Amino acid sequence: MVNDYAYADEETIITDRPDFVESSDVVGNGKMQIEVGLNVERNNDAGVKEQTSTTPTLIRAGLSDRWELRMETDGLVRQRTSINGNDETVNGYSDIALGVKWHFTDANTSSHAPSTAWLFHIDMDTGSSAFRGVGLRPSLRFVAEWDLPDDTGIGIMPGIVYDKNDQHRFISGIMAVTYGKQWTPNLHSFIEIAGQQLAKNSDGGNFVTADTGLSYLLSKTIQVDASIQRGLTNDTPDWSGGVGFSMKF
């Protein structure tokens, strides 16, 4: 969002992690970028304790200065459930999503117009049986980012998902807002409210988190990050957190 980095130019890495709101930037013509992480999620509901570990991965390939191809997945999954002291562990891998990002408009400081992008993805039922979704689930998201005074910025991301469960098709919503601060040329932080899924209770309910985190540039093309999320609804896991590593080449 705020890109006042020590190496700031078009070659500097700008990632879509660790916040939920995506960046409006693309990686650039002929460039590749990989963003990987380790995430741990914990929940305690009516005496049922559950811990889920994932390895979220995003691969981005630049088609032009405004378009990129994307492949995204939660990667390897390890889920441990404890009921009255009895533990059960399930291992597997999650579904894969393919998509594109279109950098729609550049920011215009004189008119206060934001930098914007559109993202279209299709989640596919490619994961292990325990973690596999149902059929193809397309989604559309819009991102708008404004640079603000004092090296701060704000971003919003509404969206819709044409989802599916074992009973029927349904539409769920997405709505997230993030606020970022550039503390040093290499250190950035954010706070965020993320409605990652807004749906009827019968279709999975509302998955809403309050998030915060940091990212740090080790070099022009390498970033590390850490984040933590607190669930705000009954349908959301109590806590989750993770670390990440991103590289552009």
> Would residue 3 count as lying in a domain?
no
pLDDT of residue 5: 46
Q: What is the mean pLDDT of the chain?
A: 94
- Extract the tokens encoding 230: 């607190």
CATH of the domain at 215: 2.40.160
Least-confidence region, from 54-58, 107-111, 236-240: 107-111
CA distance 135 to 117: 26
Whether the pLDDT of residue 10 is over 80: the answer is no
CA distance 213 to 193: 12
At 21-42, the pLDDT tens digits run 999 999 999 999 999 999 999 9
> Would residue 214 count as lying in a domain?
yes
Burial level of 47, CB count in 10 A (0-12/13-18/19+)? Answer: exposed
> Would residue 104 count as lying in a domain?
yes
User: Domain total for the chain?
Assistant: 1
Domain that holds residue 107: 32-235
> Would residue 185 count as lying in a domain?
yes
> Would residue 24 count as lying in a domain?
no
Cβ atoms of residues 26 and 58 within 8 Å: no
Paired residues of 163 in beta bridges: 170
> Would residue 227 count as lying in a domain?
yes
CA distance 34 to 21: 17
> Would residue 21 count as lying in a domain?
no
Whether the pLDDT of residue 186 is over 50: the answer is yes
Contacts of 232 (CB under 8 A, 6+ apart): 193, 208, 209, 210
Q: Among 40, 39, 16, 43, which Cα is nearest to 27's?
A: 16
Least-confidence region, from 43-47, 79-83, 139-143, 148-152: 43-47
pLDDT of residue 8: 46
> Would residue 88 count as lying in a domain?
yes
Chain centroid offset of residue 136 CA: 19
Average the pLDDT over 201-212 and give the result: 96
At 42-96, the pLDDT tens digits run 999 888 999 999 999 999 999 999 999 999 999 999 999 999 888 999 999 999 9
